[in-house]
Amino acid sequence: MKKKIALITGTTSGIGEGCARRFAQGGYDLIITARRGELLHKLQTELEAQGTRVLALAFDVRDREATRQAIEGLPEDWREIDVLVNNAGLARGLEPAYEGSFDDWDEMIDTNIKGLLNLTRFVVPGMVERNRGHVINIGSVAGDAAYGGGNVYCATKSAVKAITDGLRIDVAHTKVRVTNVKPGLVETHFSNVRFHGDDARADKVYQGIQPLTGDDIADVVFYAASAPEHVQIAEVLVLATHQANGTVVHREP
């Protein structure tokens, strides 16, 4: 029997890497993508050794033309994507909005909003045509309410919520499902990237609390994808047990 195909962006680290392993374990064929080709191919080799069919595509989701070529150039037997996980994304900086870096803002907006839209625009028409498919966007608790210094990052994740909700309306006449998974504190490379490689500062984000892992979020993403066809998990907020919302976290000394 033909296996389902999942395309997951940002699989060289964290939540995306967890999703790749979870969907491989769940019997999917996988299209894994990110910019760092070497890491992608390492994951491809590992998953193939476990019996999963894998196509690795190295491109930057901000590059609309590269994204178009990647999707339009898919080999015939990889074209019918069943699940798109729009995970690639990042935060840069934690400065007040009146002091933030224009470059950081551009990178977040171009990746988290425009990159997600690029994939959506090129992949979803096929889903609508086939009358089946599932788009799972990785939003964030940061999209529910802003926190200090979060300004632009929070705005991008609010945009992910609006885009996800809008797409769900646009495909409501089809069997395509649309989900927003909104994690809280997940220990990945997220904070190292946010603080431009300052590992000590990144470590402090997860001090005194047991954070979520990429695998925890991957389980939720896979659960949403595995629900019966008539069940659409519209939105899931996933927090660590000692995190109450985007700003309230109980930390043990």
Which residues lie near ligand 8X3 (CB under 6 A)?
Answer: 140-142, 150, 184, 246
Cβ proximity of 33 and 56 under 8 Å: yes
Question: What is the rounded CA–CA span in Å between residue 120 and residue 163?
Answer: 10
Active site residue 153: yes
140 binds ligand NDP (CB under 6 A): yes
Residue with the two structure tokens 């300052």: 198
Cβ proximity of 58 and 39 under 8 Å: no
Please report, as a single letter, which amino acid is at residue 217. I
158 binds ligand NDP (CB under 6 A): no
Nearer to ligand 8X3, 4 or 182 (CB): 182
Cβ proximity of 9 and 119 under 8 Å: yes
Please report, as a single letter, which amino acid is at residue 28. Y
Could you say which of ligand NDP, ligand 8X3, none residue 246 binds, taking C-beta under 5 to 8 angstroms by partner kind?
A: ligand 8X3
Among 120, 179, 188, 243, binds ligand NDP (CB under 6 A): 188
* Sheet order of strands, 83-86 included: 54-58, 29-34, 5-9, 83-86, 134-138, 177-183, 235-238
Question: What is the rounded CA–CA span in Å between residue 88 and residue 236?
Answer: 18
- Out of 28, 153, 206, 223, pick the active-site residue: 153
Least separation in angstroms between CB 140 and ligand 8X3: 3
154 binds ligand NDP (CB under 6 A): no
Nearer to ligand NDP, 11 or 120 (CB): 11
Nearer to ligand 8X3, 23 or 206 (CB): 206
Cβ proximity of 30 and 8 under 8 Å: yes
Residues involved in catalysis: 153
Q: Contact residues for ligand NDP (CB under 6 A)? A: 9-16, 34-36, 60-62, 87-90, 111, 115, 138, 140, 183, 185-186, 188-190, 193, 214
